[in-house]
Amino acid sequence: MKFADVAGHEEVKRRLREMVDNDRIPHALLLEGPSGSGKFMLARAFAQYIHCQHRHNGDSCGQCPSCRQHQAFNHIDTIYSFPVVKKSGRTALSDDYREQFSEFISESPYMDFDRWVTKLDNINAQPMIYVEEGAELLRRLTYMTRSSRFKTVLLWLPERLKEETANKLLKLVEEPFGDTIFIMVSNNGRGILPTIYSRTQRIAVQRYSDSELEGVLQAQGMDAAQAADMARIADGSVNQAWKTASVSTERRKYFDLFAELMRKAYGRKVLELRGWSKAVAELGREPQMQFIDYCCRLIRESFVMHLHVDSLLTLSAAERGFVDRFFPFINEKNVVDMIELFNRSRRDIAGNGNAKIIFFDLAVRVIMLIRRK
- For residue range 160-200, what is the model confidence (pLDDT) as tens digits? 998 888 888 888 888 888 889 999 999 999 999 998 999 99
- How many CA within 13 A on the CB side of residue 256? 10
Give the mean pLDDT of the chain. Answer: 90
Give the start-end residues of each E strand in the chain: 28-32, 78-81, 151-156, 180-186, 201-204
The answer to whether the beta carbons of residues 79 and 153 sit under 8 Å apart is: yes
134-152 tens-digit pLDDT: 888 888 888 776 778 899 9
Give the pLDDT score at 358.
96
Distance CA 71, CA 102 (A): 10
Segment 94-102 mean pLDDT: 91
Per residue in 214-247, pLDDT (tens digit) is: 999 999 999 888 888 888 888 899 998 888 777 5
Look at residue 251 in the predicted model and tell me its pLDDT.
75
Q: What is the pLDDT of residues 36-52, one digit of tens each?
A: 999 999 999 999 999 99
User: In sequence order, which ranges of 121-247 are alpha helices (DSSP H)?
Assistant: 131-141, 163-174, 194-197, 210-219, 224-233, 238-246
* Lowest-confidence region among 3-12, 237-246, 291-300, 353-362: 237-246
Q: What is the pLDDT of residue 248?
A: 54
Q: Does residue 123 surpass a pLDDT of 70?
A: no
Choose among 149, 199, 204: nearest CA to 15: 204
One-letter amino acid at 222 equals M
Task: Please state the pTM of the whole predicted model.
Answer: 0.70
* pLDDT range class, residue 296, cuts 50, 70, 90: very high
What pLDDT sits at residue 249? 61
Query: Across residues 51-70, what is the average pLDDT?
Result: 94
Instruction: Determine the Cα–Cα distance for residues 33 and 190; give it in Å rounded to an integer.
Output: 11
Q: Evaluate if residue 54 carries a pLDDT over 90.
A: yes
pLDDT value, residue 68: 95
Does the structure show a pLDDT above 80 at 364? yes
Task: Examine the pLDDT at 366 and tell me if it is beyond 80.
Answer: yes
Instruction: List pLDDT tens digits, range 333-359.
Output: 999 999 999 999 999 999 999 999 999
Q: What are the tens digits of pLDDT across the range 247-259?
A: 556 778 899 999 9
**Statement: residue 31 has pLDDT above 80:** yes
Which residue stretches of 108-154 are H helix? 113-120, 131-141
